[in-house]
Copies of this chain bind each other. A is one copy, B any other.
Amino acid sequence: MAEGRRGCLIIIGGHEDRDPGGERKILREVARHVRGGKLVLATVASHKPEGYFDEYERAFEDLGIGDLVELYVEDRNEAGDREKLQVLDDAAGIFFSGGDQLRITSQIGDTGIEAKVRALYERGGVVAGTSAGASVMSDTMLVKGTSKETHRIGDLHMSPGLGLIRDVIIDQHFAERGRFGRLLGAVAHNPRVLGIGIDENTAAMVEGDRLKVIGEGAVYVVDGTGVSYSNVAEAKSDITLSMHDVTVHILAEGDSFDLKDRRPIPGSG
């Protein structure tokens, strides 16, 4: 699971505190990992990126980032532009803001930018993302699926993500949007995949095989290893999911999780 994983992923469940007068615990952690270097703010998930950069610029202003630079790709054919690519060469980190995860992968997937992001990560850089920017980190990502109801087989759209972390599937705005049902549905499809549901203003920080929680809410880990029965392979697409013996961990700030052994580690409290 760990191969090629060198830097740090900061996977944020959306609505992280960005108030210049606030604690900004998660952005502070991003800045700490950037260590005074250059952070690229990738607003590519948004159709209308105006305002995002200004907001993050204010939020990061006194957190010790050396340089904050926007990267936006209007069309896929811009994703090979030399100047866009050069932005990433000396970056210490990249931060994917929210929007539509399919815009990220469809615009930069299999382009020079994606390769540069991977290179940044492999040389020890930080890749952070919030909301849509969180979802794209895994090899398979959740694109669409009804919130606030129990999963119906067939009502879930998954798609290839950036693949910076393997064998997990990430959902965000988790408790706030009642997404437990759809994450269970995703895990039912293939219990090899660990479900990671992240609440708002909460982040899962991944370094090596260790995931650590910071922020206000919780990170839910859904482990299907022990599942004794599931009806996910049944023919009808509108039947209700049935899945027995799922293991769930609710992790709060300070708690960790060993992704290799699939074991939670209590925080100091």
B250 touches A248 (CB 8 A): no
With a CB–CB cut-off of 8 A, which chain B residues contact A267? 242
Given A150-B218, A217-B149: A242 touches B247 (CB 8 Å cut-off): no
Interface string of A155-184 (1 = CB under 8 A from B): 000000000000000000011111011001
Selected contact of A218 from candidates B217, B241, B245, B264, CB within 8 Å: B241
Q: Is A252 an interface residue (CB 8 A)?
A: yes
Given A229-B264, A264-B229: A150 touches B250 (CB 8 Å cut-off): yes
A242 touches B246 (CB 8 A): no
DSSP majority for the A interface? loop
B253 touches A240 (CB 8 A): yes
Chain A contact patch, size range: 35 or more
A267 and chain B: residue at smallest CB distance = B242
Q: Is A50 an interface residue (CB 8 A)?
A: no
B249 touches A246 (CB 8 A): yes
Selected contact of A148 from candidates B177, B242, B248, CB within 8 Å: B177
A147, A241, A250 interface centre (most CB from chain B within 10 Å): A250
With a CB–CB cut-off of 8 A, which chain B residues contact A180? 175, 178, 180
A254 to chain B, nearest CB (A): 8
With a CB–CB cut-off of 8 A, which chain B residues contact A178? 147-148, 175-178, 180
With a CB–CB cut-off of 8 A, which chain B residues contact A181? 175, 218
B234 touches A269 (CB 8 A): yes
Given A148-B177, A177-B148, A180-B180: A266 touches B244 (CB 8 Å cut-off): yes
With a CB–CB cut-off of 8 A, which chain B residues contact A115? none
**Extra pairs beyond A149-B199, A151-B250 (10, CB < 8 Å):** A148-B175, A149-B175, A149-B176, A149-B217, A150-B199, A176-B178, A229-B266, A241-B250, A244-B264, A246-B250
